[in-house]
Amino acid sequence: MSARRGLTVVEVLVAVAILAVLAAEVAFAWRPVREAPIRLRCRNNLNQIAKGMVAYLAGHGGGRWFPFPLDRSRVPHDFNGAEWLASLYWSGVVPDPGVFVCPSSRDSNADGRDLGTRVHASTTFGERSVSYAALHFYSTTDAAGNPAPGAIEDVYPPNMPMASDDTQGPVNHGTANNGGMAVLFLDSHVKFMINTEIDLERGVGRKGGLLWQLRN
């Protein structure tokens, strides 16, 4: 009776390498399945923001004016996209603070504590309190097409972006070849866009691109 021969070191290494390749392929195939519900939640957040803007126009803006949070901005005579969106929370139009946080990011507003209230501003409010970029105080343009300060009126074309996933700071929506961004337009529809349509890594606020009038 011959003794059983064990695996050689080379055979073990080959087996480990094969298992590693198989594991990588499984992980790559599973990624879209894992990301699908996250992307759906992000689109739902932007849909809630769209409904909030419509409600704000009707209840606070006389059917014409979007939020104008100059009295709550951190920079005098200015407001950024995060502050514009947070106005929906401050005014009570969108009471759920989770709507303002992208589920695929590490952002947090501490269940609304970092957003503040309609009475008291928060000293911890920052770009991580709201995950989305949006229109801001300098989104309007003058006759030459240059950015100009002003309130945001309901006069923009319906196919103009109102808000989107943010490209400033940590990228939370994938990289150029495997990611995408949810974009909310002024007609209230949300579209998931990929790298052939927009710059996923530097698109927000960059002149010439679709999202140049947005910032976080």
Q: What is the pLDDT of residues 189-206, one digit of tens each?
A: 999 888 888 888 788 888
State the Cα–Cα distance between residues 50 and 185, nearest whole angstrom.
Answer: 8
Helices (H), 60-150: 81-90
Per-residue pLDDT, 54: 94
User: Which pLDDT tens digit goes with each residue over 128-165?
Assistant: 899 999 999 999 888 787 888 989 999 889 999 999 98
State the Cα–Cα distance between residues 76 and 157, nearest whole angstrom.
Answer: 29
State the Cα–Cα distance between residues 137 and 67, nearest whole angstrom.
Answer: 10
Per-residue pLDDT, 201: 79
Q: Which residues contact 105 (CB under 8 A, 6 or more apart)?
A: 131, 170, 172
Q: Which residue carries 């928060």 as its tokens?
A: 122
Over its C-alpha atoms, the chain yields an Rg (Å, rounded) of: 23
State the Cα–Cα distance between residues 80 and 196, nearest whole angstrom.
Answer: 27
In this structure, is the dihedral angle defined by the CA atoms of residues 5, 11, 15 and 20, taken in order, positive or negative? positive
DSSP 188-207: S-EEEEETTTS-TTT-TT-T
Q: What is the pTM of this model?
A: 0.80
Lowest mean pLDDT among 6-15, 23-32, 131-140, 180-189: 23-32
Per-residue pLDDT, 188: 92
State the Cα–Cα distance between residues 172 and 176, nearest whole angstrom.
Answer: 12
Is the pLDDT score of 11 beyond 80?
A: no
Whether 105 contacts 181, CB under 8 Å: no
Confidence of residue 173 (pLDDT cuts 50, 70, 90): low
